[in-house]
Amino acid sequence: MVKIAPSLLSADFASLAEELKDIERGGADLVHLDIMDGHFVPNLTFGAPIIKALRPHTNLTFDAHLMVYHPENYVKPLADAGVNMVSFHVEAAPHADRIVHMIKDAGMKAGIVLNPATSLSTVDYLLEIVDYVLLMSVNPGFGGQKFISYTMDKVRSLRSMISERHLNCQIEIDGGVKAENAGKLAEAGADILVAGSAVFGKEDRKAAIAALR
């Protein structure tokens, strides 16, 4: 069954601890943490100190998505903050293999992220060592964007690449995920769906998460 990872970027920032508890009660599998540096993407969000402060308030898996340059500088602080999974953009990291091993050596699962127009060929050799690939289905940096339709074919192609090589690598999708396209994404081969407003924008988070499954 597909896993649901509500994105904290769409939560009420004045009540983050309670928001975490609400989605955990609602059946979320992970919480997606968008970390932006104001350079790789225009926005700034939060970093390791905030994440560390939130860690005692939930048992949910912390899934950190680095939208930053020099992602290697974030690995140890995130591990110390209690993060379980870390992904970084192939477009921002010329030494991606090294960073994957840094993440794993720190005791976390390692993922690689591709922007919508970035070819799957850029991560061909990394598929052997990463735990998951995060495909952006919007251009990163802002919440509430419309799903880019060609991502669906990209998911199918990536699933074929993984299956043909009998790899234990999951596919995560981030951007514009709604109840209307969640089922199609799962059928195409997605394992984890990141959803912002589709969860936090709803009054009944349990019903919203159930609709995405």
- The mean pLDDT of 50-78, rounded to a whole number, is 98
pLDDT confidence tier of residue 23, bands split at 50, 70 and 90: very high
Packed helices 205-212 and 16-25: angle between N→C axes, nearest 10 degrees: 50
- The mean pLDDT of 129-134, rounded to a whole number, is 98
pLDDT confidence tier of residue 145, bands split at 50, 70 and 90: confident
- Domain layout of the chain by residue ranges: 3-212
Please say whether the structural domain 3-212 has been given the CATH code 3.30.43.10.
no
- Separation CA 67–CA 8 (nearest Å): 14
- The mean pLDDT of 30-43, rounded to a whole number, is 95
Q: Tell me the average pLDDT of the chain.
A: 96
Q: Which two tokens stand for residue 24?
A: 């955990």
> Which residues are part of the catalytic machinery?
34, 174
Residues paired with 34 in a beta bridge: 65
pTM: 0.96
Question: Does residue 143 have a known ligand-binding role?
Answer: yes
Supply the pLDDT for residue 140.
Answer: 82
> 73 by DSSP, 3-state: which?
helix
Q: Which two tokens stand for residue 43?
A: 């926005």
pLDDT confidence tier of residue 141, bands split at 50, 70 and 90: confident
Residue 143 scores a pLDDT above 70: no
State pLDDT tens for residues 167-191: 999 999 999 999 999 999 999 999 9
Supply the pLDDT for residue 146.
Answer: 87
Q: Please, what is the Cα angle at 34 between 29 and 39, to 5 degrees?
A: 165
- The mean pLDDT of 3-25, rounded to a whole number, is 97
- The mean pLDDT of 2-10, rounded to a whole number, is 96
Supply the pLDDT for residue 53.
Answer: 98
Q: How far is CA 9 from the centre of its chain?
A: 11
Residue 144 scores a pLDDT above 80: no
Q: Which two tokens stand for residue 137?
A: 């289905």
61 CB-near residues (< 8 Å, 6+ apart): 29, 30, 31, 84, 85
- The mean pLDDT of 28-44, rounded to a whole number, is 96
Supply the pLDDT for residue 156.
Answer: 98
Helix (H) or strand (E) holding 161: helix 151-164
